Amino acid sequence: MTPTKPVSMKKIQMVDLQGQYSNIKKTIDSSIEEVLNSSAYINGPYVHQFQADLEKYLSVKHVIPCANGTDALQIAMMGLGLEQGDEVITVDFTFAATVEVIALLKLTPVLIDVEPDTFNIDIDALKKAITPKTKAIVPVHLFGLCANMDAVMEIAKKHNLFVIEDTAQAIGASYTFKDGSKQKVGTIGHVGTTSFFPSKNLGCYGDGGAIFTNDDDLAHTIRGMVNHGMYKRYYHDVVGVNSRLDSIQAAVLKTKLPLLDKYCDARRDAARYYNNAFSQNANIITPTTKSNATSNCGEICDSCDCHVFHQYTIKIMNGKRNELHQHLLDNGIPNAIYYPVPLHAQKAYKDSRYKEDDFTTTNELIETVISLPMHTELDKEQLAFITKTINDFVG
């Protein structure tokens, strides 16, 4: 049974970039026009202004803009001086970019399992994966919820490891430590990285990314690395890359940054609606907002900033996830399986060291998870139709 689609209802999108743009069109267009008239298309004042604004927003000493979130990860690892053979631990359940750059730099990726409720790095698995060759940990704050950074930082300190936070899906979120203090994600480890891909929570209208750090020396190293290893024009001290945020994207981001908290609130409003609608459904597990047992209040809370819902991802426990995926598509409700294949099973990242037993949670998640439409423009009529369609089918 499917509820009838209200005639007045706007077409449901997974991410409504068009709807968001139309609400801020005037300011965006004029900021882009300013760049066009300035002819400072690369590294102009807009890039510097956005960088300063983001440093202030995150309360971090250094933001280094770059071309995309994948480059940000790669350059962070280069900046830390990681070398061939160094082991870098990251999660099996994430977008491939995280492991891709480890492999590209000829470092040794060590994939580990995630937790079933947060979808983030499993702390016991992390402890077990550490060897004398381990040099860094890359926690990914998946779907907008920070990993258990109390535990990650404690382990890193004990074993003298670098922590690179992949914040591509969680910019704007905060983490509440055991002692009650709060910090923006991406500024907790030695270095944090993010992506401004259009569909990310702070998206531009092309590609973009950034690296964050409180370490002055590392920031200096990285600033040169993004620009061909130059610290003085035409003097190349290290092997670098060309990875720049262009001025048009910076102008878009500068205009959107002041709206980020409001956008996160809008996502949380939609998540709250979903959670309430599914609360009586025994076959649906809704996302947790707690990074660990002590962090934040456990509610979808605007003041905790605990979860920024890059994705709203539920688990379907009656074995009908694939049928639901198709049923929703048939009814004009976009949805996605993030992620359908774990990284350890991908051709590019297979490794004889891995055993299926090492990935029991990831192997379960790829069968149960489904991500629902989540963006800043979802309205109650759409949410009512989506949730009713799901509850009727999963019942």
Per CB under 6 A, does 166 bind ligand PLP? yes
Phi, psi at residue 137, to the nearest 5°? -120, 135
Binding piece for ligand PLP, criterion CB under 6 A, among 15-23, 58-66, 164-172, 173-181: 164-172
Q: Which of 139, 144, 209, 342 binds ligand PLP (CB under 6 A)?
A: 209
Q: Which residues ranging from 97 to 126 are in contact with ligand PLP (CB under 6 A)?
A: 97-98
Q: Which of 54, 89, 121, 140 binds ligand PLP (CB under 6 A)?
A: 140
HEC secondary structure over the chain: CCCCCCCCCCCCCCCCHHHHHHHHHHHHHHHHHHHHHHCCCECCHHHHHHHHHHHHHHCCCEEEEECCHHHHHHHHHHHCCCCCCCEEEEECCCCCHHHHHHHHCCCEEEEECECCCCCCECHHHHHHHCCCCEEEEECECHHHECCCHHHHHHHHHHHCCEEEEECCCCCCCEEECCCCCEEECCCCCCEEEEECCCCCCCCCCCCCEEEEECCHHHHHHHHHHCECCEEECCEECCCCCECCCEHHHHHHHHHHHHHHHHHHHHHHHHHHHHHHHHCCCCCEECCCCCCCCCCCCCCCCCCCCCECCCCEEEEECCCCHHHHHHHHHHCCCCCECCCCCCHHHCHHHCCCCCCHHHHHHHHHHHHHEEEECCCCCCCHHHHHHHHHHHHHHHC
CB neighbour list of residue 369: distance below 8 Å, 6 or more residues apart: 119, 313, 314, 315, 316, 321, 337, 338
Nearest to ligand PLP of 162, 385 (CB atom) = 162
Binding piece for ligand PLP, criterion CB under 6 A, among 47-55, 64-72, 245-253, 375-383: 64-72
Binding piece for ligand PLP, criterion CB under 6 A, among 49-57, 62-70, 228-236, 266-274: 62-70
Nearest to ligand PLP of 194, 283 (CB atom) = 194
HEC secondary structure over 212-224: EECCHHHHHHHHH
Nearest to ligand PLP of 201, 387 (CB atom) = 201
Residue 143 C-beta: closest distance to ligand PLP, Å: 9
Residue 22 C-beta: closest distance to ligand PLP, Å: 24
* Size, binding site for ligand PLP by CB under 6 A: 15
Q: Which of 69, 109, 189, 192 binds ligand PLP (CB under 6 A)?
A: 69
Residue nearest to ligand PLP (CB): 69
Nearest to ligand PLP of 114, 284 (CB atom) = 114
Residue 101 C-beta: closest distance to ligand PLP, Å: 9
Residue 74 C-beta: closest distance to ligand PLP, Å: 10
Residue 5 C-beta: closest distance to ligand PLP, Å: 31
Burial label, 45 (beta-carbon count in 10 A; 0-12, 13-18, 19+): middle
Question: How far, in Å, CA of 229 to CA of 86, rounded?
Answer: 22
Instruction: Build a one-symbol-per-residue string for 22-41: x at contacts with ligand PLP by CB under 6 A, - elsewhere.
Output: --------------------
Binding piece for ligand PLP, criterion CB under 6 A, among 22-30, 65-73, 106-114, 385-393: 65-73
Residue 100 C-beta: closest distance to ligand PLP, Å: 9
Q: Which of 177, 197, 231, 393 binds ligand PLP (CB under 6 A)?
A: 197
Could you tell me whether strands 209-213 and 62-66 are parallel, antiparallel, or unpaired per DSSP bridges?
antiparallel
Residue 336 C-beta: closest distance to ligand PLP, Å: 13
Binding piece for ligand PLP, criterion CB under 6 A, among 91-99, 148-156, 233-241, 340-348: 91-99
Residue 163 C-beta: closest distance to ligand PLP, Å: 15
Q: Which of 70, 134, 362, 387 binds ligand PLP (CB under 6 A)?
A: 70
Q: Which residues bind ligand PLP (CB under 6 A)?
A: 68-70, 94-95, 97-98, 140, 166, 168-169, 195, 197, 207, 209
